[in-house]
Structure 1
């Protein structure tokens, strides 16, 4: 169980149990950068070791490339492409660049993915994880959300992770908003991350300013020397007031700690 994420992990465990029993499920995990969405997807993938797990990641530089996200899921689909009805097979083949004679009709692509997911799930439960969905190309998120709204009694679990549910394709799907971990877990996480001496007052200020964001809790102390962490820190010029009256570091540096290296430290984020 991830530290500070008991409630979230229980919900994922419940969805996975329902999938194993033959029920479909869809969930959108929403939260700010560094809050631990990717870690929750990793947790779900680990718990689903007896299932067929497929994953896709939204890539900001590929947002304008139609079906780029869906293309990441192509491996388990290509072997079964010939089993689809011709209109769906042609549409999906065109989406994957395998058929230059037909255009990738988006409705037919959605139907093709729905049928292929259902067929894959007949062999063993299927878990599809989509990270950074805010950067997924529109054609892919349309196809996957189409599937999420139409699955009924197939053992398929589809989970998106997104920073904000501001994409109309995901609006209305079941969601789970992830917020910061509580102060107790934040202090424990800091204690595990910092091997040297950590002054209680400095610790509490870091906890307050990061608002329980796990990535910020791990990254922010990297900007402080061992002496500063041990209590020898001079706040210096005042910045905009924070939860403790003044910021330990400028707000820009706090935000940089949250957004930098999100993909590099996913395994460490609670």
Structure 2
């Protein structure tokens, strides 16, 4: 039986990173909140980059409706805790991973421990988990921990990075004083100012932000994992080229388009205001149909 060897297991990374950089990844600590559509594939992708330490949080179990997009969702994992399944999968890639698990999810009373010693936080929370997201983003801001969030929108991926020197997340999204529907609209428009996914929605009746309902795809989740992993790698290694919010980017594989956006003022930006108005109108039209 072949024995696991870290250097051999991740030797094919060398060339894109140096030997010394690979060892830095081995010592790096990533926190991931949520292990669903994007969180689970984030964990496995970063594990295959050779990241050596993780804090992971999730309280949910796998269900049949997860099969279309969540990497840990299989017949054998039905009704098992997502955090247990994904921890096993990550350790099966690298049994030397130092893994801290938080099976109650992102909680205020465990947030300090969850983020202790963390180099980068990668957002894997459900789209509508606004309370937990605001809590975690605020803690990362206080601790000067960069935040990478990649959203599976349409059949593509939108990327935002928050960190020291960039716009604070609350200034960018403007959640304060909003109800959940308005937060959902502001989060959607903030994540994807270019809204590249709007042009090919096949059935608008399947999108209802008020009911926390919308379509999803494994293709988009896997694209998210790739762009988030690269942004995380660049942050960990001090590489150039990471654009912080209010810069954002979106790649739509269906339309084969890449858009990079800059929205000074965040949610106050006139283009953001106009896009939110258009989204409200489109959502209202979809409800009436």
TM-score exceeds 0.5: no
Larger relative contact order (CA 8 Å, sep ≥ 6): 1
Q: Which structure has more strand as a fraction of its residues?
A: 2
Structure number with larger C-alpha Rg? 1
